Amino acid sequence: MSVYKHPKTGKWYCIFRFDDWRGNRKQIKKSGFNRRADALEWERNYLTKETGSLAMTFGALVELYMADAQARLRPTTHQNKMWIFEKKILPYFEKQRIIDITPAKIRKWQTELMGKGYAPTYLKTINNQMTALFNFAVKYYGLPSNPAIAAGSMGKRSAEEMGFWTVEEFDRFIAGMEGDPTASTAFQVLFWTGMREGELLALTLNDVDFDRSGIYVRRSYARLNGADLIQDPKTPKSRRFIACPAFLMNLLKDYAARLYEYDPSERLFPFTKFWMNEQLKRCCARTGVKLIRVHDIRHSHASMLVNGVANPLLIASRLGHEKVATTLDTYSHLYPDRGQRLADDLNAIKNQLDQEKAAAAPPQYNDPPTPEPDF
């Protein structure tokens, strides 16, 4: 028996040995249990998790998955993923064994969440975490199939409606920031480059290339556990050079010249996302411009490019999307009349071809009428 009762404290403890994944023999001891059954359950859960048994609990699988993900994800991404598990998934499945979780159970979980009024995109995000977890179990722990895939998805990948400003609306918004060059410059960089908010807040003067007239995106800013964090950008393609219009480069040059005792390696815009959001709300209230999210300014830039008939490949590169498909999926609703535009373009090409052929053809002369014979 590996479970014992401490003679002095009356508490139960377990002590046992097992071979870890390296083949090393280890001894584990855990104390402080009020009941013998609790000590046995802890030992059983520990062994099923460490040996990769499918009899492990859902909670144990989440621990393994998150430990594996920690070395592969940005700290903020890892934290957000863990929050979703803790708040939206573990309360339903934590103590269930992996082999006992069926597609039917997952459907019931989905139905309950769908009744809570969450946005379709948020439901999709939650469901993606569940699917990813079971993919991990299938790939590395021998789970025969993914019950989350069999259950089907919930929610939607992208919102049906996306908030964004026209150039005219942004012009009214930025006019409301007159007298505040710091906020004005930050929001103008967002609008005219389409970069992410975290990318903007991580910029230094060293990232601005006045000779090439553009900005290098190399890092992203976030707050984690109450502290500033500079981390890698969202994806490998997020590391990019964004060509900028001359007026924006002049604006940045003027802004940098006003900075006092500034080190070019320091952040150009030493604010938080909360500060940016508050500035946005106040200026919208002052100017009467419709309120959107700070992230929607990125969508506004994309909308401007789409309506300017920019190539989707160029838009994807500028926005730092990993795939052109991401750009098309996100902004396809901004192309409602592109089919007719394409048809009109084809018609114009054919008309031009016909005109060129007509102009190049030799002139046609009508033969004189044949005189009738005179009998």
CA distances, 43 to each of 13, 28, 31, 46, 120 (Å): 10, 9, 11, 5, 40
Query: Quick one: 41 and 65 in the same domain?
Result: no
205 and 274 within one domain: yes
What's residue 51's pLDDT?
Answer: 72
Q: Are 2 and 30 in contact (CB under 8 A)?
A: no
| 371, part of any domain | no
Residues 271-310: tens digit of each pLDDT: 999 999 999 999 999 999 999 999 999 989 988 887 776 7
Close Cβ partners of 328 (under 8 Å, ≥ 6 residues apart): 312
User: Is the domain of 172 the same as that of 264?
Assistant: yes
Distances in Å between the Cα of 325 and the Cα atoms of 159, 293, 332 are 16, 24, 10
268 with 183, same domain? yes
For all residues of the chain together, what is the average pLDDT? Answer: 88
**What pLDDT is stored for residue 245 in this prediction?**
92
Domain shared by 178 and 291, yes or no? yes
Distant-in-sequence, close-in-space partners of 88: CB < 8 Å, separation ≥ 6: 113, 126
Same domain (yes/no): 276, 327: yes
Looking at residue 83, what is its pLDDT?
Answer: 96
Domain with residue 267: its CATH number is: 1.10.443.10
In a domain, 348, yes or no: no
- Is 250 part of a structural domain of the chain? yes
Burial of residue 317, with CB atoms counted within 10 A of its CB: 0-12 exposed, 13-18 middle, 19 or more buried: middle
Asked if residue 301 and residue 246 are part of one domain, the reply reads yes
Does residue 212 sit in the same domain as residue 303? Answer: yes
Number of domains, the chain: 3
The model carries a pTM of 0.68
Domain identity same for 177 and 318: yes
Same domain? 89 vs 43 = no
Locate tokens 């290098």: which residue?
Answer: 216
Instruction: Give residue 373's pLDDT.
Output: 59
Residues 31, 119, single domain; the answer is no
Among 301, 319, 334, which residue terminates a domain? 334
Range of the domain at 41: 1-51
Burial of 223 (0-12, 13-18, 19+ CB in 10 A): middle
Q: What is the pLDDT along the chain (375 residues), one digit of tens a residue?
A: 588 889 889 999 999 888 776 677 888 899 999 999 999 888 888 888 777 778 889 999 999 999 999 989 999 999 999 999 999 999 999 999 998 999 999 999 999 999 999 999 899 999 999 999 999 999 998 899 999 999 999 988 766 567 889 899 999 999 999 889 999 999 999 999 999 999 999 999 999 999 999 999 999 999 888 888 999 988 888 999 999 999 999 999 999 999 988 999 999 999 999 999 999 999 999 999 999 999 999 989 988 887 776 778 888 889 888 887 777 777 765 555 556 666 777 778 878 888 887 887 776 666 665 666 565
User: For position 135, which CATH number holds?
Assistant: 1.10.150.130
Q: Is residue 162 part of a domain?
A: no
187 lies in the same domain as 280: yes
Q: Do the Cβ atoms of 351 and 178 come closer than 8 Å?
A: no
Per the CB < 8 A criterion, the answer to whether 234 and 196 are in contact is: yes
The pLDDT of residue 368 is 60
Determine the pLDDT at residue 126. 96
- Within-domain flag for 19: yes
Confidence (pLDDT) at 372: 61
pLDDT, position 370? 61
322 in Cβ contact with 236 (< 8 Å): yes
Taking alpha carbons only, the member of 341, 340, 334, 268 closest to residue 301 is 334
Q: What is the pLDDT of residue 375?
A: 53
- What pLDDT score was predicted for residue 369? 59
Residues 247 and 64: their CA atoms lie apart, in Å, by: 51
Token couple for 326 = 């991401």
